[in-house]
Amino acid sequence: MQIPDQWVGALVVGLIILVLGQLVLSCRAYYQYKDDVRNQIDGKIGNIATSLENLNAKIENCTIRIENIYARLESFENKYDRADKELWNRADQIERRLQDKNSQLKEELLTLQTTSDLLMKAGLAGSEDIYKKTKRG
Amino acid sequence: MPLTPAQFERMEYLLGKAQHTSLAPNEQDELRRYVVVEQPGAEDVTFETVVTLGLIIVGAYLLYKYLESPA
């Protein structure tokens, strides 16, 4: 039995069409897969960008807080310096006052000592007189 | 209440005696009583301090009498 030439031609054409169809389908599937991958990557890039933005905002907040802390620290140091100076000034003032008072007290004590010595001498003379008189009497 | 003149003279006598001889315990107490009348803080001090205070009191009194006498 001999196969007609038309059949062979039709078969070859059919096979070619089939191969071409497969090729087209493969290409289509490849491009579709490529798009999916691209979309996924785009999504992930978008997420990373959002995360980076959040991170930047947080870093900015931290920077602002650190600046505030530095400002407060500086203010505290200034206050501390002022308080330290004031304290030493007051201590000096009190020391000077105490020295003045001490000198005054020493002078008063000397006066009192002199007065009491004089009074004691007078009292001694008076008491001796009375004692001797009474003893003689 | 201040000392009477007789008490004051007795105190002077005891002070004079204390310079020449030691006082008997009852005399020491008596002198202390007289001094405490003029100076209530002298109740718990030593006898030497009592004598010193007594002499100062007598001295002050004599000085006062001396200053008052011309007037």
Distance from CA of B48 to the nearest CA of A (A): 13
Which chain A residue's Cα is nearest to B11?
A127
10 Å Cβ neighbour count for A110? 10
User: What is d(CA B53, CA A120) in angstroms, rounded to the nearest whole number?
Assistant: 8
CA of B64: how far to CAs of A96, A119, A123, B12, B70, in Å? 39, 10, 12, 15, 11
Which of A123, A129, A131 has the CB atom closest to B59's CB atom? A123
pLDDT at B69 over 90: no
Residues from chain B that touch A120, judged by Cβ atoms under 8 A, are 52, 55-56, 59
Residues from chain B that touch A134, judged by Cβ atoms under 8 A, are 13, 16
**Residue of A73, A101, A81 whose CA lies nearest to A89:** A81
SS3 state at B4: coil
pLDDT of the residue at A2: 79
Residues from chain B that touch A127, judged by Cβ atoms under 8 A, are 12-13, 15-16, 19, 54-55, 58
Token pair belonging to A87 = 């304290």
pLDDT at B1 over 80: no
ipTM for the complex shown:
0.82
CA of B50: how far to CAs of A4, B22, B44, in Å? 163, 14, 9
pLDDT of the residue at A136: 82
pLDDT of the residue at B71: 60
- Angle (nearest 5°) at CA B18 between B34 and A130: 75
CB proximity under 8 Å: B 17-46 to A? 17, 19-20
CA max distance for chain A: 193
Question: B57 and A126: CB-CB below 8 Å?
Answer: no
Which of A121, A131, A134 to substitute to test the interface with B, most B CBs within 10 Å? A131
Angle between helical axes of B25-38 and B5-20 (0-180°, round to 10)? 130
Cβ proximity of A96 and B28 under 8 Å: no
Q: Which parts of chain A sit beneath pLDDT 50?
A: none
How confident is the model over B14-66, as pLDDT tens digits?
A: 999 999 999 999 999 999 999 999 888 888 999 999 999 999 999 999 888 88
SS3 state at B24: coil
pLDDT of the residue at A3: 79
B51: Cα within 13 Å, side-chain hemisphere: 19
Asked if B53 has any chain A CB less than 8 Å from its own CB, the reply is no
pLDDT of the residue at A71: 97
